[in-house]
Structure 1
Protein backbone atom coordinates (compact mmCIF):
# COMPACT_ATOMS: atom_id res chain seq x y z
CA UNK A 1 0.00 0.00 0.00
CA UNK A 2 1.13 3.61 -0.51
CA UNK A 3 1.55 4.10 3.25
CA UNK A 4 4.09 1.27 3.69
CA UNK A 5 7.15 2.96 5.16
CA UNK A 6 9.27 -0.10 6.02
CA UNK A 7 12.21 0.10 3.55
CA UNK A 8 12.23 -3.70 3.31
CA UNK A 9 8.76 -3.65 1.80
CA UNK A 10 7.87 -0.22 0.39
CA UNK A 11 6.85 -0.71 -3.25
CA UNK A 12 7.29 -4.47 -3.01
CA UNK A 13 5.35 -7.23 -4.70
CA UNK A 14 5.34 -10.38 -2.58
CA UNK A 15 4.33 -13.79 -3.86
CA UNK A 16 2.64 -15.12 -0.73
CA UNK A 17 2.80 -18.89 -0.78
CA UNK A 18 1.94 -19.83 2.78
CA UNK A 19 -0.68 -18.26 5.03
CA UNK A 20 -1.89 -20.37 7.94
CA UNK A 21 -2.89 -19.82 11.56
CA UNK A 22 0.85 -20.20 12.39
CA UNK A 23 1.90 -17.27 10.17
CA UNK A 24 2.72 -16.36 6.59
CA UNK A 25 5.66 -16.64 4.21
CA UNK A 26 6.41 -15.19 0.79
CA UNK A 27 9.10 -13.94 -1.58
CA UNK A 28 9.60 -10.37 -2.77
CA UNK A 29 9.69 -10.68 -6.57
CA UNK A 30 10.49 -7.15 -7.73
CA UNK A 31 13.66 -6.12 -5.89
CA UNK A 32 16.81 -7.16 -7.77
CA UNK A 33 20.06 -6.93 -5.82
CA UNK A 34 23.55 -5.99 -6.96
CA UNK A 35 24.32 -9.73 -7.13
CA UNK A 36 23.77 -11.60 -10.38
CA UNK A 37 23.74 -15.34 -11.02
CA UNK A 38 27.32 -15.30 -12.28
CA UNK A 39 28.55 -13.88 -8.95
CA UNK A 40 26.32 -16.17 -6.91
CA UNK A 41 27.43 -19.31 -8.73
CA UNK A 42 31.07 -18.30 -8.32
CA UNK A 43 30.54 -17.81 -4.58
CA UNK A 44 28.93 -21.24 -4.14
CA UNK A 45 31.60 -22.81 -6.36
CA UNK A 46 29.35 -23.92 -9.20
CA UNK A 47 30.36 -23.39 -12.81
CA UNK A 48 27.54 -21.61 -14.63
CA UNK A 49 27.80 -22.90 -18.20
CA UNK A 50 24.84 -20.95 -19.64
CA UNK A 51 26.20 -17.53 -20.64
CA UNK A 52 22.72 -16.04 -21.03
CA UNK A 53 22.16 -16.46 -17.28
CA UNK A 54 25.34 -14.74 -16.02
CA UNK A 55 23.72 -11.31 -15.73
CA UNK A 56 20.32 -12.48 -14.47
CA UNK A 57 19.74 -10.74 -11.13
CA UNK A 58 19.38 -12.41 -7.77
CA UNK A 59 16.46 -10.86 -5.90
CA UNK A 60 16.00 -9.67 -2.32
CA UNK A 61 13.36 -12.18 -1.23
CA UNK A 62 12.84 -10.59 2.17
CA UNK A 63 14.67 -9.77 5.38
CA UNK A 64 14.51 -13.26 6.95
CA UNK A 65 17.43 -15.70 6.42
CA UNK A 66 19.08 -13.50 3.79
CA UNK A 67 21.96 -15.97 3.47
CA UNK A 68 19.58 -18.70 2.26
CA UNK A 69 18.54 -19.11 -1.37
CA UNK A 70 15.02 -19.72 -2.67
CA UNK A 71 14.27 -20.57 -6.28
CA UNK A 72 10.72 -19.88 -7.45
CA UNK A 73 10.05 -21.70 -10.70
CA UNK A 74 7.53 -23.42 -12.90
CA UNK A 75 6.75 -27.03 -11.89
CA UNK A 76 9.21 -29.67 -13.07
CA UNK A 77 7.39 -32.79 -11.83
CA UNK A 78 7.46 -34.69 -8.56
CA UNK A 79 10.78 -35.52 -6.94
CA UNK A 80 13.02 -33.71 -9.43
CA UNK A 81 14.78 -31.74 -6.66
CA UNK A 82 15.45 -32.84 -3.10
CA UNK A 83 13.75 -29.88 -1.42
CA UNK A 84 10.83 -28.55 -3.44
CA UNK A 85 7.43 -27.37 -2.36
CA UNK A 86 4.46 -26.98 -4.68
CA UNK A 87 3.08 -23.61 -3.64
CA UNK A 88 -0.44 -22.23 -4.12
CA UNK A 89 -0.91 -20.75 -7.54
CA UNK A 90 0.79 -23.60 -9.37
CA UNK A 91 4.45 -22.64 -8.98
CA UNK A 92 7.23 -24.48 -7.13
CA UNK A 93 9.71 -23.18 -4.59
CA UNK A 94 12.99 -25.07 -4.22
CA UNK A 95 15.63 -24.48 -1.55
CA UNK A 96 18.11 -27.27 -2.33
CA UNK A 97 21.37 -26.76 -4.24
CA UNK A 98 20.45 -29.41 -6.80
CA UNK A 99 18.17 -26.95 -8.64
CA UNK A 100 21.16 -24.61 -9.05
CA UNK A 101 23.34 -27.49 -10.22
CA UNK A 102 20.70 -28.23 -12.89
CA UNK A 103 20.46 -24.55 -13.88
CA UNK A 104 24.26 -24.39 -14.20
CA UNK A 105 24.26 -26.97 -17.00
CA UNK A 106 21.02 -25.93 -18.69
CA UNK A 107 18.89 -28.74 -17.27
CA UNK A 108 16.96 -26.68 -14.69
CA UNK A 109 13.66 -24.88 -14.99
CA UNK A 110 13.48 -22.61 -18.03
CA UNK A 111 11.74 -19.88 -16.05
CA UNK A 112 12.84 -19.18 -12.49
CA UNK A 113 13.52 -16.39 -10.04
CA UNK A 114 16.37 -16.70 -7.54
CA UNK A 115 16.05 -14.88 -4.22
CA UNK A 116 18.11 -14.54 -1.09
CA UNK A 117 15.95 -14.39 2.01
CA UNK A 118 12.20 -14.45 2.44
CA UNK A 119 9.41 -12.39 3.97
CA UNK A 120 7.81 -13.91 7.05
CA UNK A 121 5.10 -12.99 9.51
CA UNK A 122 4.21 -14.60 12.84
CA UNK A 123 0.68 -15.75 13.68
CA UNK A 124 -1.76 -12.86 13.22
CA UNK A 125 0.94 -10.35 12.24
CA UNK A 126 0.05 -10.11 8.54
CA UNK A 127 -3.66 -9.82 9.33
CA UNK A 128 -2.91 -6.92 11.69
CA UNK A 129 -0.73 -5.20 9.08
CA UNK A 130 -3.53 -5.57 6.52
CA UNK A 131 -6.05 -4.07 8.97
CA UNK A 132 -3.67 -1.12 9.45
CA UNK A 133 -3.65 -0.55 5.68
CA UNK A 134 -0.11 -1.86 5.17
CA UNK A 135 -0.86 -4.44 2.49
CA UNK A 136 -3.34 -5.15 -0.27
CA UNK A 137 -4.04 -8.61 -1.64
CA UNK A 138 -4.24 -8.98 -5.41
CA UNK A 139 -5.62 -12.43 -6.34
CA UNK A 140 -4.16 -13.60 -9.64
CA UNK A 141 -4.45 -16.69 -11.81
CA UNK A 142 -1.42 -18.94 -12.28
CA UNK A 143 -0.85 -17.49 -15.74
CA UNK A 144 -1.09 -13.88 -14.51
CA UNK A 145 1.40 -14.62 -11.71
CA UNK A 146 3.81 -16.37 -14.04
CA UNK A 147 3.60 -13.51 -16.55
CA UNK A 148 4.39 -10.95 -13.86
CA UNK A 149 7.15 -12.93 -12.13
CA UNK A 150 8.91 -14.40 -15.16
CA UNK A 151 8.04 -12.20 -18.14
CA UNK A 152 7.66 -8.65 -16.79
CA UNK A 153 10.73 -6.51 -16.06
CA UNK A 154 11.19 -6.12 -12.31
CA UNK A 155 10.76 -2.34 -12.52
CA UNK A 156 7.21 -2.87 -13.90
CA UNK A 157 6.00 -5.71 -11.64
CA UNK A 158 4.40 -3.46 -9.00
CA UNK A 159 2.36 -1.50 -11.54
CA UNK A 160 1.48 -4.63 -13.50
CA UNK A 161 0.30 -6.40 -10.33
CA UNK A 162 -1.75 -3.40 -9.23
CA UNK A 163 -3.37 -3.14 -12.68
CA UNK A 164 -5.31 -6.34 -11.88
CA UNK A 165 -7.29 -4.62 -9.09
CA UNK A 166 -9.95 -3.23 -11.42
CA UNK A 167 -9.51 0.39 -10.30
CA UNK A 168 -6.85 3.07 -10.49
CA UNK A 169 -4.34 2.35 -7.69
CA UNK A 170 -3.37 6.04 -7.59
CA UNK A 171 -6.69 6.56 -5.77
CA UNK A 172 -5.49 4.47 -2.83
CA UNK A 173 -4.70 6.29 0.38
CA UNK A 174 -1.92 5.62 2.82
CA UNK A 175 -4.42 6.27 5.63
CA UNK A 176 -6.50 3.49 7.17
CA UNK A 177 -10.18 4.10 7.85
CA UNK A 178 -12.27 2.34 10.46
CA UNK A 179 -16.03 2.54 10.65
Structure 2
Protein backbone atom coordinates (compact mmCIF):
# COMPACT_ATOMS: atom_id res chain seq x y z
CA UNK A 1 0.00 0.00 0.00
CA UNK A 2 1.22 3.50 -0.74
CA UNK A 3 0.68 6.82 1.02
CA UNK A 4 -1.59 7.96 -1.83
CA UNK A 5 -4.24 5.41 -0.89
CA UNK A 6 -4.29 6.31 2.80
CA UNK A 7 -7.24 8.67 2.53
CA UNK A 8 -9.58 5.90 1.34
CA UNK A 9 -11.22 4.64 4.52
CA UNK A 10 -14.01 2.77 2.76
CA UNK A 11 -12.57 -0.51 4.00
CA UNK A 12 -10.70 -0.77 7.26
CA UNK A 13 -8.50 -3.66 8.29
CA UNK A 14 -8.15 -5.18 11.73
CA UNK A 15 -4.71 -3.56 12.14
CA UNK A 16 -5.92 0.02 11.59
CA UNK A 17 -4.85 2.12 14.59
CA UNK A 18 -2.74 -0.70 16.02
CA UNK A 19 0.88 -0.88 17.11
CA UNK A 20 3.08 -3.53 15.58
CA UNK A 21 5.92 -4.53 17.90
CA UNK A 22 8.80 -6.42 16.30
CA UNK A 23 9.57 -9.84 17.74
CA UNK A 24 13.21 -10.81 18.43
CA UNK A 25 12.89 -13.23 15.49
CA UNK A 26 12.33 -10.31 13.06
CA UNK A 27 14.61 -10.96 10.08
CA UNK A 28 14.38 -7.53 8.42
CA UNK A 29 16.99 -5.20 9.98
CA UNK A 30 14.79 -2.22 9.04
CA UNK A 31 12.44 -3.33 11.80
CA UNK A 32 14.72 -4.60 14.59
CA UNK A 33 13.09 -3.58 17.92
CA UNK A 34 10.66 -1.38 15.95
CA UNK A 35 7.32 -0.09 17.15
CA UNK A 36 5.14 0.73 14.12
CA UNK A 37 1.92 2.72 14.22
CA UNK A 38 -0.38 1.37 11.48
CA UNK A 39 -2.30 4.19 9.80
CA UNK A 40 -4.04 2.15 7.11
CA UNK A 41 -4.71 -1.54 6.60
CA UNK A 42 -6.91 -3.21 4.00
CA UNK A 43 -6.87 -6.08 1.55
CA UNK A 44 -4.59 -3.93 -0.63
CA UNK A 45 -1.87 -3.83 2.04
CA UNK A 46 -0.81 -1.69 4.97
CA UNK A 47 1.19 1.43 5.78
CA UNK A 48 2.47 2.94 8.97
CA UNK A 49 5.35 4.68 10.71
CA UNK A 50 8.13 3.51 13.00
CA UNK A 51 7.75 5.69 16.11
CA UNK A 52 10.87 4.75 18.06
CA UNK A 53 13.76 5.36 15.67
CA UNK A 54 15.70 8.62 15.72
CA UNK A 55 16.60 10.51 12.56
CA UNK A 56 20.05 12.04 12.21
CA UNK A 57 18.84 15.42 10.96
CA UNK A 58 17.19 18.10 13.09
CA UNK A 59 14.07 20.17 12.58
CA UNK A 60 16.20 23.22 11.83
CA UNK A 61 18.03 21.16 9.17
CA UNK A 62 14.63 20.47 7.59
CA UNK A 63 13.71 24.17 7.69
CA UNK A 64 16.98 25.08 5.93
CA UNK A 65 16.56 22.33 3.33
CA UNK A 66 13.01 23.40 2.52
CA UNK A 67 14.08 27.07 2.42
CA UNK A 68 11.39 27.94 4.97
CA UNK A 69 13.89 29.65 7.26
CA UNK A 70 17.60 30.45 7.18
CA UNK A 71 20.16 29.66 9.88
CA UNK A 72 19.98 33.08 11.53
CA UNK A 73 16.18 32.96 11.84
CA UNK A 74 16.04 29.44 13.29
CA UNK A 75 18.11 30.61 16.27
CA UNK A 76 15.16 32.83 17.20
CA UNK A 77 12.73 29.91 17.37
CA UNK A 78 11.67 28.70 20.82
CA UNK A 79 13.76 25.77 22.08
CA UNK A 80 10.68 23.52 22.03
CA UNK A 81 10.28 24.22 18.31
CA UNK A 82 13.98 23.81 17.50
CA UNK A 83 13.89 20.44 19.28
CA UNK A 84 10.78 19.29 17.40
CA UNK A 85 11.24 15.52 16.97
CA UNK A 86 12.23 14.07 13.60
CA UNK A 87 11.97 10.29 13.38
CA UNK A 88 12.91 7.71 10.79
CA UNK A 89 9.42 6.54 9.82
CA UNK A 90 10.41 3.60 7.64
CA UNK A 91 12.38 2.42 4.60
CA UNK A 92 9.95 3.66 1.90
CA UNK A 93 10.33 7.19 0.40
CA UNK A 94 12.89 8.18 3.04
CA UNK A 95 13.26 11.66 1.55
CA UNK A 96 9.60 12.46 2.10
CA UNK A 97 8.34 14.06 5.29
CA UNK A 98 5.11 13.33 7.14
CA UNK A 99 3.69 14.83 10.32
CA UNK A 100 1.53 12.74 12.65
CA UNK A 101 -0.39 15.11 14.89
CA UNK A 102 -3.34 15.70 17.17
CA UNK A 103 -6.54 16.65 15.36
CA UNK A 104 -6.55 20.25 16.61
CA UNK A 105 -4.71 21.21 13.41
CA UNK A 106 -6.44 20.66 10.08
CA UNK A 107 -5.43 21.69 6.58
CA UNK A 108 -6.91 20.72 3.23
CA UNK A 109 -4.33 17.97 2.90
CA UNK A 110 -4.76 16.54 6.42
CA UNK A 111 -5.94 12.93 6.53
CA UNK A 112 -7.61 11.56 9.68
CA UNK A 113 -6.02 8.26 10.69
CA UNK A 114 -7.95 7.77 13.95
CA UNK A 115 -10.52 9.64 16.04
CA UNK A 116 -7.78 11.81 17.57
CA UNK A 117 -4.82 11.68 15.15
CA UNK A 118 -4.31 13.10 11.68
CA UNK A 119 -1.52 12.97 9.12
CA UNK A 120 -0.34 15.94 7.07
CA UNK A 121 2.41 15.79 4.46
CA UNK A 122 2.49 19.36 3.18
CA UNK A 123 4.56 22.42 4.06
CA UNK A 124 1.67 24.29 5.66
CA UNK A 125 1.98 22.30 8.89
CA UNK A 126 5.74 22.95 9.05
CA UNK A 127 5.12 26.68 8.69
CA UNK A 128 2.36 26.51 11.32
CA UNK A 129 4.71 24.79 13.78
CA UNK A 130 7.34 27.51 13.18
CA UNK A 131 4.73 30.24 13.75
CA UNK A 132 3.38 28.68 16.94
CA UNK A 133 0.10 27.76 15.22
CA UNK A 134 0.80 24.04 14.99
CA UNK A 135 -0.97 21.13 16.67
CA UNK A 136 -0.67 20.55 20.40
CA UNK A 137 1.07 17.23 19.81
CA UNK A 138 3.02 16.22 16.74
CA UNK A 139 6.04 14.37 15.43
CA UNK A 140 7.67 14.47 12.01
CA UNK A 141 8.75 11.31 10.23
CA UNK A 142 10.92 10.83 7.18
CA UNK A 143 9.81 7.80 5.17
CA UNK A 144 7.18 5.21 6.00
CA UNK A 145 6.70 1.46 6.24
CA UNK A 146 4.58 -0.22 3.58
CA UNK A 147 3.39 -3.77 2.91
CA UNK A 148 1.73 -5.26 -0.15
CA UNK A 149 -1.46 -7.32 -0.16
CA UNK A 150 -1.24 -10.15 2.39
CA UNK A 151 2.42 -9.45 3.22
CA UNK A 152 1.92 -8.13 6.74
CA UNK A 153 -0.58 -10.83 7.64
CA UNK A 154 2.02 -13.42 6.59
CA UNK A 155 4.71 -11.76 8.72
CA UNK A 156 2.38 -11.82 11.75
CA UNK A 157 1.52 -15.47 11.09
CA UNK A 158 5.26 -16.21 10.98
CA UNK A 159 5.69 -14.69 14.44
CA UNK A 160 7.41 -11.52 13.19
CA UNK A 161 5.13 -9.08 15.02
CA UNK A 162 2.95 -8.63 18.08
CA UNK A 163 0.08 -6.18 17.77
CA UNK A 164 -2.04 -4.19 20.20
CA UNK A 165 -4.21 -1.04 20.18
CA UNK A 166 -2.06 2.07 19.77
CA UNK A 167 -1.47 4.55 22.58
CA UNK A 168 -1.54 8.23 21.58
CA UNK A 169 0.72 9.01 24.54
CA UNK A 170 3.35 6.61 23.22
CA UNK A 171 3.10 7.88 19.63
CA UNK A 172 3.98 11.43 20.72
CA UNK A 173 6.34 10.51 23.57
CA UNK A 174 9.63 12.26 22.74
CA UNK A 175 11.65 9.84 24.89
CA UNK A 176 12.65 7.22 22.32
CA UNK A 177 14.83 5.32 24.76
CA UNK A 178 12.74 2.51 26.21
CA UNK A 179 9.76 3.10 23.90
CA UNK A 180 10.01 -0.50 22.66
CA UNK A 181 9.74 -1.77 26.24
CA UNK A 182 6.85 0.61 27.00
CA UNK A 183 4.99 -0.66 23.93
CA UNK A 184 5.47 -4.25 25.06
CA UNK A 185 4.19 -3.26 28.50
CA UNK A 186 0.84 -2.37 26.90
CA UNK A 187 0.52 -6.12 26.33
CA UNK A 188 1.88 -7.00 29.75
CA UNK A 189 4.99 -8.46 28.10
CA UNK A 190 8.67 -7.85 28.84
CA UNK A 191 11.56 -8.29 26.35
CA UNK A 192 12.92 -11.11 28.54
CA UNK A 193 9.69 -13.06 28.08
CA UNK A 194 10.01 -12.73 24.30
CA UNK A 195 13.65 -13.83 24.32
CA UNK A 196 12.82 -16.96 26.30
CA UNK A 197 10.02 -17.79 23.87
CA UNK A 198 12.10 -17.26 20.72
CA UNK A 199 12.39 -20.41 18.68
CA UNK A 200 9.55 -22.20 20.46
CA UNK A 201 6.26 -22.81 18.70
Three-state SS of the structure 2 residue aligned to 1:126 is helix
Q: Residue 4 of structure 1 corresponds to which residue in structure 2?
A: 26
Give TM-score scaled by structure 1 length: 0.88
Q: Residue 163 of structure 1 corresponds to which residue in structure 2?
A: 185
Three-state SS of the structure 2 residue aligned to 1:16 is strand
Spell out, residue by residue over 1:115-139, the C-alpha distance to the aligned partner (whole angstroms, 9 max, x if none). 0000000000000001111111022
1:97 equivalenced with 2:119 (yes/no) = no
Q: Is the 8 A contact 1:50 1:105 kept in 2?
A: no
Alignment of 1:1-179 (within 5 A): 1-47=23-69, 48=74, 49-76=77-104, 80-88=106-114, 90-140=116-166, 145-151=167-173, 153-172=175-194, 173-175=197-199, 177=201
Q: How far is 1:152 from its partner? A: 5.2
Spell out, residue by residue over 1:35-55, the C-alpha distance to the aligned partner (whole angstroms, 9 max, x if none). 110111111111253332213
Which runs of no fewer than 5 residues in structure 2 stay unpaired? 1-22
Q: What is the alpha-carbon root mean square deviation over aligned residues? A: 1.7
Q: Is the 8 A contact 2:181 2:190 kept in 1?
A: no
Q: How far is 1:169 from its partner? A: 4.1
Take 1:100 and 1:50, find their aligned partners in 2: how far apart are those partners? 14
Q: How far is 1:73 from its partner? A: 0.6
Q: Is the 8 A contact 1:25 1:120 kept in 2?
A: yes
Q: How far is 1:88 from its partner? A: 2.8
Q: Is the 8 A contact 1:61 1:119 kept in 2?
A: yes
Q: How far is 1:89 from its partner? A: 5.5
Structure 1 runs of 4+ aligned residues shifted over 6 Å read: none
Per the alignment, do residues 24 and 176 of structure 1 end up closer, same or farther by CA in structure 2, a change over 3 Å counting?
Answer: farther
Q: How far is 1:176 from its partner? A: 6.3
Take 1:176 and 1:46, find their aligned partners in 2: how far apart are those partners? 53
Take 1:54 and 1:8, find their aligned partners in 2: how far apart are those partners? 27
Give TM-score scaled by structure 2 length: 0.79
Per the alignment, do residues 117 and 176 of structure 1 end up closer, same or farther by CA in structure 2, a change over 3 Å counting?
Answer: farther
